[in-house]
Amino acid sequence: MYQDTNVTHDSRELCVECGGARLIERMREQSFAYGPPNDQVILAASMPVFTCEDCGYEYFDERGEAARHEAVCRHLGVQTPEEVRKTREGTGLTRVEFCQLTGFGSASLQRWESGMVVPNASSDRLIFLLRYPDNVERLRKRATAIAQGLLQFQSASADPVARISAGIPEVHTRRGIKRFERFADRPRIAFQAASWNLRRSQCM
Ligand SMILES: [Zn+2]
């Protein structure tokens, strides 16, 4: 499927296969399989493809990788790296400030923005909500109130459960408080890291 944007690549770039200089760059719709072998879907992405006039070899560069990643994000229903970055920039916050406000790890944010990892569903939704300045403002006010001790009644030092769960992510489940203590154990965190790695490998 060729479009009329064919251009001879005029940079000093050479064919990665034969070293020839006669490279033609075309925009093309490329299909690729995504997902585990027994549950694959075929996705399509429009990307610049280089064709070598000398040896016939075809390949794409990092723009092609980005186009594929975007197609995967669309398929999964999460925001693309560029959308994540634009949302963060739209808040007017630096990466460090953004992480302080949201509770995201700076390494995670960096991976989402660079396209190395696809955000999980809950992170994606929080990022989406931060497109709206009033939501950013709500988080800011809450952080200020916590810093000033105005919300301390929710985690009074007299309350032993609150003391134990301080510093542990706040997760509300039907099983309540006992769940908090379980989150202090590392296996869950290890499991999360493993699932990130899986996502990453599926995305490439
Ligand atoms: Zn070649």
Average pLDDT of the residues of the chain: 80
Q: Report pLDDT digits (tens) over 78-137.
A: 999 999 999 999 999 999 999 999 999 999 999 999 988 899 999 999 999 999 999 999
> Which residues make beta-bridge pairs with 43?
32
Which residue segment(s) compose the domain that 36 sits in? 7-76
Q: Report pLDDT digits (tens) over 10-45.
A: 556 889 899 999 999 999 999 999 988 888 999 999
70/31 same-domain check:
yes
Tell me how far the alpha carbon of residue 180 lies from the centroid of ligand 1, in angstroms. Answer: 59
Tell me how far the alpha carbon of residue 56 lies from the centroid of ligand 1, in angstroms. Answer: 6
pTM of structure: 0.61
Pairing of strands 23-34, 7-8: antiparallel
Tell me how far the alpha carbon of residue 55 lies from the centroid of ligand 1, in angstroms. Answer: 4
177/139 same-domain check:
no
Tell me how far the alpha carbon of residue 65 lies from the centroid of ligand 1, in angstroms. Answer: 20
Q: Is residue 155 part of a domain?
A: no
* 63 close to 46: Cβ distance less than 8 angstroms: no
CATH number of the domain to which 121 belongs: 1.10.260
**Domains in the chain: how many in total?**
3
Beta carbons within 8 Å of 56's beta carbon, 6+ residues apart: none
Q: Is residue 55 part of a domain?
A: yes
Tell me how far the alpha carbon of residue 106 lies from the centroid of ligand 1, in angstroms. Answer: 41
Give the pLDDT score at 156: 47
